[in-house]
Amino acid sequence: MCLRVKEIIDEKKEDYRLIVFTKKRASALILNHVIEHINKVKSSYLLGHSSRIDAFMSEVMSLEKQRKILTEFKNGEVKILVSTSVAEEGIDIRPCNFVLMFNGLESIQSYIQTSGRARQKDSKYIVFQEKSDAEIMRIGKEVISSLPQVFKERTLDYEIPITENVSEFYEVESTKARVTLNNSSNLLNRIFGKLTKSPKEIIWEDKDGKKRAILTLPTGFPLQKKVVEGQWYVLRANATKSAALELIKRLHQENILNDHLHLKNDAPKKRIKTANYRLNREEVLVTRKIPAPLVGKWDSPSQDFFGHRICIDETVSKFGLFSLTEFEVPPFQIYLKGQKQNKITFESLHKLTLENPLLEIARKFHTSLFKMLCKGLKGDGLDPNTETYAYLILPINNDDIDWEYLQQFLEPRKIIANTLPRSQLEGKILTTLYDSLSYKVVSVHTGLQLQSPFQGGRDNSGKPFPARPANNPTIDIPNTDNFNPAPKTKSTPSNFLEHFSKKRGFEIIDTNQELVEARRLRYPKNGLRVQQKTEKKTPGIYLPPELCFVEELTTEMHDQAILLPSILIRLESLLIAHQLREACPIRADPDKILEALTPSGVAEGFNYERLENLGDTVLKYLVCLSLFVVYPDYTEGELSERKARLVSNLNLFDLASAKNLGSYSSPEKCTFQEWATSGCKANNQMKIRKKSLSDETEALIAVAYLSDEGVTKDKPILGRRLHNSAKFLEWLDLFKDMQNSLREIEDKLNNYHLEYIPNGLNLYEKEYFVSNVLKYKFRDANLLSAAFSKDSRSCLPFQRLEFIGDAALDLIVLEIMHQKFPKADPGQYTHLKHCVCSNWMFGRISWEYGFQKLGCIDNQTMEKIRVYGEAIAEYKVRMEAEIASRRTEAGFSEEEIRRKHIFQYADADPPKILGDIFESVAGAILVDSGFNLEKVKEVFDPLLRPIMSLLSPECAVFHPTILLLEKCQKEDKNFHWDSRKKDDQWTVQFFIGNELIASATCANKSSAKVKASSEALKKLRVHM
């Protein structure tokens, strides 16, 4: 070879580039060394960037080094390059004019790729082969002899006959939209980019020198006929375009494409994956509805009002609510002090008409009252022609407005020294001149004067400082406009006079007046939730009467008035819930609807979290049931894909937004500082998280499910409660995606029949097992056979039954949990359900009752089941031994030990087929009983009862996967899983961003995920 290289060098002098290809990396290094040593030229070698040489030459060629060597070769700095197959394709080396194959030819593909490296004119391709290796010689001769035929076949499709007819087209008559043979493939590719399914494969037919393309469509493709045939053409490319044109024509004729040949909005489109953590952070701006009875305009000098007396428990308050429309609300509870509940009711009063100036006086009282109660209100600022809150809170005496008190309240306030004598100040409400804060008088005889030393008002022992007798506490004081504020300093005052004159900025006229002791008035507290008791009291302060106004509002009326914000917020929310009740098919009580509309963290004492968990499960069951009957030919994977899109938070948000459900929601950040009442609120817009709106939608599904109202005539096949939820989903247009109404879906449920030919194996044993273990007799033997058959022929019916059975068992288990743990934390329901509704637990129950004995299971899987059974037997022995050894210990609990052994995830993984059979049998019973969920619950209750009896809220912390997901979602981490199977072993990796956190390998994928979750929690320092 070195002699041949020397000939090339002598022949071309400087005008040459030579690539020597060799198979082995070590050969490349050795050849490079030999060429440089013998031929005295500069050469180099090229290896894959991830390759490693033998131990004594350990080296990794980086991508940067590869580029450097190729650049030197192109520029002529290196004339000879020894390379492995890394330079065969994808590398453009135009100056190369010699290629030398050191190890001979191996295939046509190798020849085409390596010969393509020699780009110069008159390039040479040299092959070295060992004569002694007969096999290598034979392969080389076959490659060379087959070259003409290969070149001929590759050029056939490029010989375009002049007589080929390509005038085929399709035109829509109404819009004149046209697709031709030439653009049909491009249009179809755009359609396939949006559809959930694409053609599986293309079949070719040859006849008389012409070709025809036949497209086979997968199950679930939105066409009735699953085969599309094109026209006959000489060229294969034209035959493909003809089949594409025919498919476009069929898609338009079956209403998948509109008359402009665009995909319709209701066509099954590809699911766009949106991370929940993003949806949880994104917010939308909505305008909250104003309750109809409380809405109106202030554009008329005369208004008709309906009065409503506010009653607290059985006590009539001194305030009434006057609205433009009469309304009725059920009684509700608020918390006045600590955990004590008080019943609030509204009693109707007579209708009355208010005209100016009385109307203006009433509005002024209403606004002034709430300015005093709620800090920070800034006038009403309302446009009289704008429809907004229009109600009044006014004092009442018997059944009429107390106009005398109302006018006294609005009279100009006077300074104490000019009005009441000191003896009548006890219990009065004062407002300070300098900061407009309100106080309640505690004591009028404090013994303190303005000249008393100022140390917080008391001496070191905590007793009040001695005072000098007051000369005249009721002297005349000039108008407050003439008060001259004293200059402010940062020094500590020595007495009260210096404090009020320097710090507060007012010059005191009567320096001998006695101070009064007062405490700040309580501002409205949240009476909608339990308040924690606090022993801390507001400290008293000392005020000079000269700087205080006296208010007409008595302390009794103030104590009732501070309840008004809580009462009005609840009233407003209940009226909005009632409006939603009238707008949608939910017939539940308004207070239950309000619970579904209330996110966590607001002023209310309840939220939607408990309902959302139930609504999510009901939604998934109804969607699974509908998909099951609407798409009888879909596989489990296709059904699951559609289900995931329909129940996703993104889809629920879109549906809820279309129905404007966000306008009924309670504000997520409602506080009493931000709340204002009629006459003070000008903006009713709020932000709501998209995830919250989808959660509220699920909670409303649960409210409909728990409602007993609705159907009164014929009993629906779904049952009354599920039918109510389905009616709400129909109102949301969720079934529109399936192109079926609820009535059509229920008809299909009534007439459903499984198309399945049983294999007849072990039919008697199956019937005996079901009748004796499950206490159920199948009406349709086909369903019984399909439930236990997972062979290649009956895989579709088995998977479909498993799909619907899984959803049914989820709902059954969650209902049992709600009954057993009515006061459990909402988050615990998710954990508890996963403890039972998992392939791990269903597989355990299936093995305990012997479901595997009747299934069509291969020998390899049966061996895994046998090993699993031995592991379970060992667990039982260990459990009984622990119980026996600890029986005499203090605080011994046999139930706790059994719970610990049963709800253990790390070891003893059941083969997946066990859980699949369990779910498939549940689905078969559901279908056989006419989709009667109560019958499935009755059959499976004895099987689930032993597990459910040991279940407790403490079990919720045992499952690591949910703990890990919750932590990542709370901390807004971008996480993902990666799973791969190799040699019957699953490897599951958990990433946060691009960082690998944990990895685990196991024969069962779910078990590997659990182990990886446990490892990740340890690294993230989360206690399980």
Asked if 969 and 1013 sit in the same domain, the reply is yes
Give mean pLDDT, residues 698-727.
81
Asked if 106 and 173 sit in the same domain, the reply is no
Query: Please, what's the b/e burial string for 595-631 (b: 16 or more CB within 10 A of its CB; e: otherwise)?
Result: bbbbbeebbbbbbbbbbbbbbbbbbbbbbbbbbbbbb
Interacting residues of 51 by C-beta distance below 8 A, sequence separation 6+ = 25, 60, 61, 84
Q: Is residue 557 part of a domain?
A: no
Q: Check if the beta carbon of residue 203 is closer than 8 Å to that of residue 216.
A: yes
Q: How many percent of the chain have pLDDT more than 90?
A: 10
Comparing 136 with 506, the larger pLDDT belongs to: 506
Return the bridge partners of 320, or none. 309, 394
Map residue 706 onto helix, strand or coil.
Answer: helix
Map residue 493 onto helix, strand or coil.
Answer: coil
Long-range contacts for 672-675 (Cβ within 8 Å, ≥24 apart)?
672/374, 672/523, 672/524, 672/525, 672/526, 672/565, 672/603, 673/374, 673/375, 673/376, 675/374, 675/565, 675/569
Asked if 871 and 992 sit in the same domain, the reply is no
Q: Is residue 54 part of a domain?
A: yes
Residue 486, pLDDT above cutoff 60: no
Q: How would DSSP label each residue in 386-413?
A: S-EE-EEEEEEETTEE-HHHHHHHHSPP
Domain ends where: 375, 410, 445? Answer: 410
For residue 374, give the DSSP letter. S
Q: Note down the domain range covering 112.
A: 2-156
Give me the pLDDT at residue 681, please: 54
Give me the pLDDT at residue 659, please: 93
Asked if 431 and 453 sit in the same domain, the reply is yes
Q: Check if the beta carbon of residue 967 is closer than 8 Å to that of residue 794.
A: no
Range name among 692-696, 832-836, 955-959 with the lowest pLDDT average: 955-959
Q: Is residue 281 part of a domain?
A: no
Asked if 318 and 388 sit in the same domain, the reply is yes
Map residue 431 onto helix, strand or coil.
Answer: strand
Question: What SS3 string covers 588-634?
Answer: CCHHHHHHHCCCCCCCCCCCCHHHHHHHHHHHHHHHHHHHHHHCCCC
Give me the pLDDT at residue 404, please: 85
Q: Residue 547: pLDDT band by 50, 70, 90 thresholds?
A: confident
Asked if 137 and 177 sit in the same domain, the reply is no
Residue 986, pLDDT above cutoff 70: yes
Comparing 849 with 714, the larger pLDDT belongs to: 849
Of 408, 414, 368, nearest in space to 545 by CA: 414
CA–CA separation, 800 vs 802, rounded Å? Answer: 5
Residue 257, pLDDT above cutoff 90: no
CATH code for the domain of 1020: 3.30.160.20
Comparing 887 with 134, the larger pLDDT belongs to: 887
Query: Please, what's the b/e burial string for 102-135 (b: 16 or more CB within 10 A of its CB; e: otherwise)?
Result: bbbbeeeebbebbeebbeeeeeeeebebeeeeee
Of 713, 465, 475, 697, nearest in space to 584 by CA: 697
Give me the pLDDT at residue 381, please: 47
How many domains does the chain divide into?
Answer: 7
Asked if 388 and 417 sit in the same domain, the reply is no
Residue 728, pLDDT above cutoff 80: yes
Asked if 458 and 422 sit in the same domain, the reply is yes
The listed range with the strongest mean pLDDT (96-110, 524-538, 563-577) is 563-577
Question: Please, what is the average pLDDT of the chain?
Answer: 77
Q: Are strands 541-543 and 548-550 parallel, antiparallel or unpaired?
A: unpaired
Asked if 719 and 636 sit in the same domain, the reply is yes
CATH code for the domain of 723: 1.10.1520.10
**Strands (E) located in 224-301:** 227-229, 283-287, 295-296
Give mean pLDDT, residues 79-88.
82
Q: Are strands 210-216 and 227-229 parallel, antiparallel or unpaired?
A: antiparallel
Give me the pLDDT at residue 489, please: 46
Q: Taken in order 309, 312, 318, 320, is the CA torsion positive or negative?
A: negative
Q: Is residue 276 part of a domain?
A: no
Residue 750, pLDDT above cutoff 80: yes
Comparing 789 with 283, the larger pLDDT belongs to: 283
Q: How many CA atoms lie within 13 A of 408 on its CB side?
A: 10
Residue 384, pLDDT above cutoff 70: no
Residue 650, pLDDT above cutoff 60: yes
> Which are the catalytic amino acids?
616, 698
Q: Is residue 558 part of a domain?
A: no
Q: Is residue 138 part of a domain?
A: yes
Give mean pLDDT, residues 458-470.
39
Question: Tokens representing 1004?
Answer: 């069962």
Question: Tokens representing 308?
Answer: 């409503």
Of 335, 323, 442, nearest in space to 392 by CA: 323
Give me the pLDDT at residue 464, please: 43
Domain ends where: 360, 384, 410? Answer: 410
CA–CA separation, 193 vs 270, rounded Å? Answer: 8
User: Which pTM does this prediction carry?
Assistant: 0.65
Of 84, 96, 93, 85, nearest in space to 124 by CA: 96
User: pLDDT tens digit string along 91-116?
Assistant: 667 778 888 888 877 777 677 778 77
Give me the pLDDT at residue 557, please: 82
Give me the pLDDT at residue 646, please: 92
Place of tokens 């966590």: 600
Asked if 381 and 426 sit in the same domain, the reply is no
CA–CA separation, 220 vs 224, rounded Å? Answer: 9
Q: Is residue 994 part of a domain?
A: yes
The listed range with the strongest mean pLDDT (441-445, 627-631, 671-675, 822-826) is 627-631
Give me the pLDDT at residue 705, please: 92
CATH code for the domain of 444: 2.170.260.10
Give mean pLDDT, residues 51-69.
58
Comparing 901 with 677, the larger pLDDT belongs to: 901
CA–CA separation, 561 vs 567, rounded Å? Answer: 10
To the nearest 10 degrees (0 to 180), the angle between helices 933-950 and 912-928 is: 140
Asked if 78 and 152 sit in the same domain, the reply is yes
Question: Tokens representing 953?
Answer: 């809220």
Residue 253, pLDDT above cutoff 90: no
Give me the pLDDT at residue 729, please: 94
Asked if 38 and 139 sit in the same domain, the reply is yes
CATH code for the domain of 45: 3.40.50.300
Give me the pLDDT at residue 584, please: 92
CA–CA separation, 617 vs 613, rounded Å? Answer: 7
Q: Is residue 287 part of a domain?
A: no
Which H or E run contains 46?
A: strand 43-46
Residue 800, pLDDT above cutoff 80: yes
Residue 465, pLDDT above cutoff 80: no
CA–CA separation, 447 vs 542, rounded Å? Answer: 11
Domain ends where: 486, 516, 551? Answer: 551
Q: Are strands 985-992 and 975-982 parallel, antiparallel or unpaired?
A: antiparallel
